Structure 1
Amino acid sequence: MRRRLRRRNERGLTLIELMVVMAILVMLAAVITTQVVKRVEDAKVAVAHADIQSMETALDLYHVHNGTYPSSQQGLQALVEKPTSEPEAKNWDGPYLKKGVVPTDPWDRGYVYTEPGEHNTDSFDLYSLGRDGVEGGEGKDADIVNWDTSQR
């Protein structure tokens, strides 16, 4: 009798026990994956804020050198190449961005630059269309903008 009990215990896990273990592992994986995806999105928003702040600094330096911000037509490219259209950049001393490249936002789209700005009428508006790529939006789909300091 003892021999039978010992064999039963030595056989290993039953199918039900394996199914329970698998279910627990699947639930853990789902929770972890959800948290990782959330952190990736949060990181993308932080990168967009950092890019915008960096480009604001570069645009302000451009303004100090040339007395004006690049026009909307000249765009952010004026930070890496001397513009050939008006307003003339007489004292251009760029490139004003590291690596001489205008960054794209974390969703691989260009940042939107308008001068004069609709929100910053004395300077410029600079923003990313965010995760959804559409102007406006709320929550995770909100635009990342330079005129709303509560976003930072």
Structure 2
Amino acid sequence: MNRRLTTAARRTLRKGFTLLEILIAVAIVGMLVGIAVTNIDKILGQSQEGVAKLFVNESLKASLVRYRIDLGDYPTTEDGLKALIVAPEGKQDRWRGPYVDAKGGALPLDPWGAAYQYRYPGTKNTESYDLFSVGRDKIPDSADDIGNW
């Protein structure tokens, strides 16, 4: 009976974790951190693509439509998206811009720090314009471009 009490007493006096329990917990946390770190690029990449799609298909599109209503046509490729901020030569009388909220007179950049690309008439949208982000690789007309086509 004494033996049972001493064993039971030892169990109740034992507080904290064993080394094995701590090592298992550290290993589990390490695996979870490893999984999160390897997927963070994918998660951030998806949100960057979403922002670029939003700019191409909503924000800049709305600005180009307002420009077209005021001036009767989209800006030329030569005038580019800059025509949304500054009146093109010879069109100052009908231009009612700026059509884009450009801080410091500069157009917004895509999530990868590159300028949005614009062509009118478009090569992919032959009846309209091409508006696109060059994507992560920053190379126009490559597979990762995010455009209005």
Higher radius of gyration, 1 or 2: 2
Amino acid at match of 1:30: G
Normalised by the length of structure 1, the TM-score is 0.78
Q: Which residue of 1 aligns with 2:99?
A: 96
Q: Which residue of 1 aligns with 2:70?
A: 65
Q: Secondary structure at the match of 2:118?
A: strand
Q: CA deviation at 1:89?
A: 5.2
Q: Which residue of 2 aligns with 1:12?
A: 16
Q: How does 1:19-30 map to 2 (within 5 A)?
A: 19-30=23-34
Q: Which residue of 2 aligns with 1:45?
A: 49
Q: Which residue of 2 aligns with 1:143?
A: 145
Q: CA deviation at 1:68?
A: 1.9
Normalised by the length of structure 2, the TM-score is 0.80
Greater Cα shift, 39-48 or 10-19: 10-19
Q: CA deviation at 1:3?
A: 6.2
Moved runs in structure 1, 4+ residues, more than 6 A? none
5+ residue gaps in structure 1? 148-152
Deviations 1:78-104 (A, max 9, x none): 1011122x6x35410001113565211
How many pairs were matched up? 141
Q: Secondary structure at the match of 2:115?
A: coil
Q: Measure the CA separation in 2 of the matches of 1:21 and 1:49.
A: 42
Q: CA deviation at 1:4?
A: 9.4
Q: Measure the CA separation in 2 of the matches of 1:5 and 1:108.
A: 66
Q: CA deviation at 1:119?
A: 1.1
Q: Secondary structure at the match of 2:70?
A: helix
Q: How does 1:86-125 map to 2 (within 5 A)?
A: 88=91, 90-99=93-102, 101-125=106-130
Q: Secondary structure at the match of 2:131?
A: strand
Give yes or no for contact 1:80–1:94 (8 Å, CA) kept in 2.
Answer: yes
Q: CA deviation at 1:21?
A: 0.9
Superposition RMSD in Å:
2.5
Q: Identical aligned pairs, as a percentage?
A: 35
Are the structure 2 counterparts of residues 49 and 123 from structure 1 closer, same or farther at C-alpha, using a change threshold of 3 Å? same
5+ residue gaps in structure 2? none
Q: Measure the CA separation in 2 of the matches of 1:16 and 1:123.
A: 67
Q: Measure the CA separation in 2 of the matches of 1:144 and 1:120.
A: 14
